[in-house]
């Protein structure tokens, strides 16, 4: 009897254990489904979407080379690099015979003028002097943050030029009977001697003066882009972001109103680009500027030469020939959703809205789309009539997506 009771108890225990396990499994499954339902939804919200690609390009400018007969003598900049000049304005001159000796005399006169003015306690205030003093201070401060030898030499020459100009202006503004006037007269005579014995080079047209000449000015020209090929661009073997060095024999006048950037590209989006299309370029300065596609040439292996025209940041790009930048093919703002929330049926896009546990399928218009997200909106009544031939009754019954709606992800 006791044995039967014992077996009976074991059976009850087994039943309870099985029941417990079943309940536990059911709880786990139910919890998983609940969590799944919570995470597999997406809330419609305002957002921004863009399609961007990083690439490398070659800067093409309208450049006119300036070179005189005495280019082997070396040059002195009359107008500083990257400054605008007028037509027929003197830009630079070549060294003359005995140049070094005359320059040393001018430097000594500048120093003497400065010492005389300081000892006399004469304070001359001029907007030109203040401007030069600011330029000297800015250039000196800039030298502390530059570790490029070429840049340091350029800044050093700028400072020498500013100091010389300051001394000349200061002397010219001092009293006519002063000793300074005599020193200034001597200085002017020396400068006249230099100019008479030097070859002066003037600008044939207005634009930016640049002394950064790399030899590609006569090759990369903006007149006709048919000559551009991937093979040609690669043959230059240029480093991205490399600064074009200052040339001591020649300069050039650069059109400061527009320039071009040529790329060799074979991405999916580039293959659908069209001439006249306006995109946005993001340069290394993080500046975003509009650009117009003005030339497209197809090559083998679906590679394309695309040329963008820009009319901003011309001055900032004058130091470079090859740059890295982002092409922002398009950008859009609006109601942003995950692509997993879209369902396609009969070439129409739908979303399934979860509203208080009830799902509704809603027709939506996809404005923009990348690999992850889409910008959507509702169709207008006219669009529904024209595109889908909806009747007024169908339009009246349709559901519309709204901001902050919860859509189901698939």
Report pLDDT for 193. Answer: 78
Q: How many helices (H) and strands (E) does the chain have?
A: 9, 19
Last residue of a domain, one of 271, 295, 330: 330
CATH code for the domain of 376: 2.40.420.20
Within this chain, do residues 226 and 322 fall inside the same structural domain, yes or no? yes
The helix-helix angle for 149-172 and 99-120 (nearest 10°) equals 60
- Polymer length in residues for the chain: 410
Report pLDDT for 38. Answer: 46
Report the alpha-carbon distance of residue 205 to residue 202 in Å, rounded.
9
By C-alpha distance, which of 205, 163, 194, 252 is closest to 76? 194
- Asked if 335 and 403 touch (Cβ cutoff 8 Å), the reply is yes
Dihedral angle sign, alpha carbons of residues 110, 114, 116, 117:
positive
60, two tokens = 């093409």
Within this chain, do residues 386 and 341 fall inside the same structural domain, yes or no? yes
Last residue of a domain, one of 288, 307, 330: 330
Does 277 reside within a domain? yes
Residue whose entry in the numeric block shows the structure tokens 């489904």: 33
Q: Which residues sit opposite 84 in a β-bridge?
A: 208
Residues 6+ apart with CB under 8 A from 345: none
Report the alpha-carbon distance of residue 64 to residue 147 in Å, rounded.
31
Does 397 reside within a domain? yes
Does 26 reside within a domain? no
Does 6 reside within a domain? no
Report pLDDT for 74. Answer: 84
Within this chain, do residues 116 and 144 fall inside the same structural domain, yes or no? yes
- The helix (H) or strand (E) run that includes residue 310 is strand 304-310
- Asked if 275 and 296 touch (Cβ cutoff 8 Å), the reply is yes
Within this chain, do residues 249 and 339 fall inside the same structural domain, yes or no? no
Within this chain, do residues 288 and 387 fall inside the same structural domain, yes or no? no
Does 75 reside within a domain? no
Within this chain, do residues 404 and 307 fall inside the same structural domain, yes or no? no
Query: How many independent structural domains does the chain possess?
Result: 3
* Residues of the domain holding 404: 42-49+334-408
Within this chain, do residues 100 and 113 fall inside the same structural domain, yes or no? yes
- Asked if 225 and 295 touch (Cβ cutoff 8 Å), the reply is yes
- Asked if 291 and 322 touch (Cβ cutoff 8 Å), the reply is no
Does 163 reside within a domain? yes
To the nearest 5 percent, what fractions of the chain are helix, strand and coil? 40, 30, 30
Half-sphere exposure of 270 (CA within 13 A, CB side): 24
Within this chain, do residues 141 and 225 fall inside the same structural domain, yes or no? no
Does 73 reside within a domain? no
CATH code for the domain of 280: 2.40.30.170
Does 69 reside within a domain? no
Pick out the chain residues at pLDDT < 70.
1-15, 20, 22-39, 117-130, 132-133, 136, 139-178, 285-286
Report pLDDT for 128. Answer: 60
Within this chain, do residues 254 and 280 fall inside the same structural domain, yes or no? yes
By C-alpha distance, which of 347, 372, 368, 363 is closest to 407? 363
Within this chain, do residues 402 and 308 fall inside the same structural domain, yes or no? no
Within this chain, do residues 272 and 342 fall inside the same structural domain, yes or no? no
Report pLDDT for 215. Answer: 95
78, two tokens = 């009359």
pTM for the predicted model, two decimal places = 0.68
Report the alpha-carbon distance of residue 28 to residue 223 in Å, rounded.
72
- Asked if 207 and 45 touch (Cβ cutoff 8 Å), the reply is no
Last residue of a domain, one of 330, 355, 376: 330
Within this chain, do residues 171 and 225 fall inside the same structural domain, yes or no? no
């Amino acid at each position: 009897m006791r044995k039967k009771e014992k077996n009976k108890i074991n059976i009850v225990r087994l039943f309870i254990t099985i029941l417990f396990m079943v309940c536990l499994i059911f709880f786990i499954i139910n919890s998983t489904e609940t969590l799944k339902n919570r995470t597999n939804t997406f809330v419609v919200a305002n957002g921004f979407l863009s399609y961007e690609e990083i690439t490398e390009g070659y800067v093409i400018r309208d450049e006119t080379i300036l070179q005189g007969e005495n280019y082997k003598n070396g040059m002195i900049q009359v107008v500083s690099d990257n400054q605008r000049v007028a037509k027929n304005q003197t830009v630079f001159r070549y060294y003359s015979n005995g140049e070094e000796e005359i320059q040393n005399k001018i430097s000594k006169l500048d120093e003497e003028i400065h010492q005389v003015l300081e000892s006399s306690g004469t304070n001359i205030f001029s907007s030109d002097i203040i401007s030069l003093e600011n330029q000297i201070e800015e250039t000196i401060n800039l030298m502390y943050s530059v570790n490029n030898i070429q840049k340091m030499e350029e800044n050093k020459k700028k400072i020498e030029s500013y100091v010389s100009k300051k001394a000349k202006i200061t002397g010219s503004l001092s009293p006519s009977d002063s000793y300074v006037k005599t020193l200034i007269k001597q200085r002017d005579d020396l400068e006249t001697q230099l100019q008479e014995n030097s070859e002066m080079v003037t600008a044939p047209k207005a634009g930016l003066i640049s002394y950064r000449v790399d030899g590609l000015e006569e090759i990369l020209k903006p007149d006709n882009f048919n000559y551009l090929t991937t093979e040609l661009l690669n043959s230059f073997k240029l480093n991205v972001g490399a600064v074009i060095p200052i040339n001591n024999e020649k300069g050039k006048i650069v059109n400061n109103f527009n320039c071009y950037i040529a790329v060799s590209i074979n991405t999916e989006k580039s293959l659908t680009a069209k001439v006249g299309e306006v995109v946005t370029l993001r340069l290394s300065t993080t500046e975003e500027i509009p650009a117009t596609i003005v030339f497209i040439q197809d090559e083998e292996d679906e590679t394309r030469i695309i040329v963008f025209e820009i009319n901003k940041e011309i001055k900032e790009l004058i130091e470079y020939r090859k740059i890295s930048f982002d092409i922002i093919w398009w950008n859009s703002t609006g109601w942003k959703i995950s692509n997993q929330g879209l369902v396609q049926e009969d070439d129409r896009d739908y979303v399934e809205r979860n509203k208080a546990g009830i799902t509704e399928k809603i027709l939506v218009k996809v404005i923009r789309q990348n690999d992850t997200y889409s910008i959507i909106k509702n169709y207008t009544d006219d669009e529904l009539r024209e595109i889908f031939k909806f009747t007024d009754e169908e339009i009246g019954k349709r559901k519309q997506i709204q901001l902050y709606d919860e859509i189901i992800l698939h």
